[in-house]
Chain A
């Protein structure tokens, strides 16, 4: 399966700290995307990185992609209590399937 697998499963940090979340996948991909989900609601797209890109930034988010290691990381800098949510890594392969892992639960303590 090509689906992303996030690591760690849960992360608890203090407000103001940085949060780093990792994703690994198994087959070649077209792009990799990170999403956020607040409890019981739909996923919200955060950032997309294509297979020929290595790093992208969006506000307090920084995502890296290492296709040789089949892995990606999402860094949220200067975290806020409002960043508390579940984060999912989605991978799109050549067959256009968009599949996700089980997600990472991030808790940011005020």
Chain B
């Protein structure tokens, strides 16, 4: 168990709908990352938050948005869903070591999104 919790585990929804994926990081971790994994695109970095603020942005579509709340949990919102958005969505969290360098990331088990 990585200590990172993602809900729901599975989600089936129709095109055009909106869904929210939730992530609870490991206790004490301030950084949260979101990734999309599909067969043809590999593991795509979407966005990173650190202590409530957006830290880095990757290949995140305008239809997608995310936020990190004061209690450090994060949500990824996907709207106007298309068939191509079907994928595994992972959340990961990480902390800092004593010299403020990034440490390893701990991944949740993912949310499998199927858009029909």
Interface of A toward B, CB cutoff 8 Å: 3, 30-31, 33, 35, 40-45, 48, 50, 88, 90, 92, 95-103
Contact = CB atoms under 8 A, between A and B. Distances in A.
B102 A31 contact: yes
Interface residues of B, number: 28
Contact of B109 (A42, A88, A97, A101): A42
A45 B108 contact: no
14 contacts: A35-B107, A40-B112, A42-B108, A42-B110, A45-B106, A48-B103, A95-B55, A95-B56, A97-B45, A98-B92, A99-B45, A99-B58, A101-B43, A103-B43
Given A43-B92, A97-B56, A102 B105 contact: no
B104 A45 contact: yes
Contact of B33 (A3, A30, A95, A98): A98
Contacts of B33: 98
